[in-house]
Amino acid sequence: MNLIIKNIFSYKVNKVYHQFVHTETKLKKQIKWLTPAGYKTDIVIYNPITKCKVPLILKNKNILTWYVCGPTVYDSAHIGHAMTYVHLDIIRRILTDHFNINIVMAMCLTDIDDKIIIRSKELKQNYKDLTRYYENEFIKDMKMLNVIKPHLYCRVTDYIPQIIQFVKSIVDKDNAYVLKDGSVYFDTCKYGMYGKLSTPLLNNSHPDKKSAMDFCLWKAAKENEPCWKSLWGFGRPGWHIECSTIASIVFGNSVDIHSGGIDLMFPHHENEEAQSCSYHEVEQWVNYWVHCGHLSLKDVKMSKSLKNVISIKEFLKKYTANQFRMLCLLSNYKNELKFSDVIMNNAIDILHKIEHFINNCDNYIAGKWNIGNIDEVSLLRCLEETKNNVNIALADDFNTVQAIKSLINLIDIGNKMLHDSKDSNITYGTCIPAIAAVLNYISTIFSKFGISNSSTTNDNKINNLIECLIKFRHIVRNKVLEHDVKDKTLLIACDKIRSELSTYGIIIKDCKTKTIWNIKRY
């Protein structure tokens, strides 16, 4: 009996293996990336098919179509999940605000799949109520992280008739087949160009599949599950078909950029490309795939299944959205990032350096900064070099890491001049234009990256009130210091006021002859 079982098992393994080898041989058909026809930009972007950077060429002049694989809305988003969307938001802002490209973006919200059904059963809640709740939570989380909304949020269940028609078209082209239970599978052997983005993995979950690599377009209904009537009986969409259908309805037979996390490369994006090329009868559906690396904890990807996630709300109790965005700017969007307090503190330190420099520039321009030895020619030359270096970096696959290095170098040079009081032959006011030009560029470029300015008021009454408090504190503090009073109660009170005001975003700096203040920006 054991020998019979062993032989049966061996037969099945060999059958799957030979099936895979046979299929793989059939798939070796001109799998390549086609350079798009259209309008060239000055940007190069990493291409996961060619494994190198290629020129970004748009279908339409200065207009870029972009489809984003959004979340499966069955649970709250976490910060590891959010990193993908912040990275994509940074790229979007660079393309629109720095390179003046008009982007049209659509995002899919998966509101029906296995996970959602399981979760709704666990909670004994209707799947529609469940998904609407978490959909709203996701949108709120993205707003807190200053991620720009796409032009379209597209729910899968709003496109069921179109999905059924999409599947029917592929079946009619003989690139898909219907199983006895009413499920529909894509025929990778018939299609022949499967495996553009990655090496296909065996998946023989259904015993009636023709090939281990074939994937589901339409799932036959199971008892007590949400379903819709189709040509093949009651069922629901397969995971991959939803994005192909929605993106095709919105953008047609070609999409400039399609993006998501690195985990979506296979099977999701691979399957999307195959079925969409089949449907549209084209060799290339997506021109540029953009995949973002994961955020991990101790070498392990953040995952709800591993129960090692940090919710966005929990994260924002300790850190700010600007600090997280700076963390993303300091990392390559394609790479995995290992989360720790050390790398977060580095991001915080850089934000503080930027903020202090902007405050110093403001005070210099306002006449509150009475030191400094500004070499105007050298500073303006450095500014132009920085602009050029930042432009080169951002055009090179959105290299924000190098761009930030160039910006910090400019800030360091500017700060050194502002704090240099030795042998100054330059009278105050002669270098305001140079400082103002640097200040304007630094403020603008970080705004383009999505670093938001939290200074929300220019109300003269509030500013005057703060100014009165600062002057009073300055007089009291100086009197105590001048007379070297043994009782330090007033001095302690002055320090306490400074500390308390800082919690409200008002930063006080005590200089030798005066006290200056600013409202915190970041």
Q: Is 371 exposed, middle or buried (0-12, 13-18, 19+ CB in 10 A)?
A: middle
Q: Is 139 exposed, middle or buried (0-12, 13-18, 19+ CB in 10 A)?
A: middle
Please report, as a single letter, which amino acid is at residue 86: V
Q: Is 306 exposed, middle or buried (0-12, 13-18, 19+ CB in 10 A)?
A: exposed
The Cα-based distances of 362 to 240, 365, 367, 488, 501 in angstroms read 52, 5, 9, 32, 19
Asked whether 33 and 54 are in contact (CB, 8 A), the reply is yes
CATH 1.20.120 for domain 343-449, yes or no, is yes
Helices of type H across 419-488: 432-448, 460-482
Q: Is 399 exposed, middle or buried (0-12, 13-18, 19+ CB in 10 A)?
A: middle
Q: How far apart are CA 401 and CA 392, in angstroms?
A: 12
Residue ranges per structural domain of the chain:
39-337, 343-449, 457-519
Selection from 142, 140, 154 nearest residue 68 by Cα: 154
Tokens standing for residue 236 = 């629901």
Cα Rg of the chain, angstroms: 29
Q: How far apart are CA 504 and CA 259, in angstroms?
A: 39
Selection from 293, 250, 304 nearest residue 86 by Cα: 293
Helix or strand holding residue 189 (H, E): helix 188-191
Q: How far apart are CA 89 and CA 3, in angstroms?
A: 59
Asked whether 110 and 156 are in contact (CB, 8 A), the reply is yes
3-state SS class at 82: helix
Q: 45 - beta bridge partners? A: 54
Name the region of 140 (left: φ>0; alpha: ψ -120 to 50; beta: rest).
Answer: alpha
Asked whether 241 and 279 are in contact (CB, 8 A), the reply is no
Written out in words, the top-level CATH class of the domain with range 39-337 is alpha beta
Q: Do domains 39-337 and 343-449 have the same CATH topology?
A: no
Output DSSP code: residue 453: -
pLDDT means per 10 residues in the chain (522 residues)?
44 42 49 94 97 97 97 89 96 98 98 95 95 96 97 98 98 97 95 86 74 94 95 96 98 98 95 97 97 82 68 92 97 94 95 94 87 92 98 98 98 94 56 95 97 61 74 83 80 85 82 78 72
Q: pTM, whole model, 2 decimals?
A: 0.85
Q: How far apart are CA 82 and CA 357, in angstroms?
A: 29
Q: How far apart are CA 148 and CA 57, in angstroms?
A: 24
Show Cβ contacts of residue 258 under 8 Å, excluding neighbours closer than 6 positions: 66, 67, 68, 69, 247, 269, 272, 286, 288, 289, 290
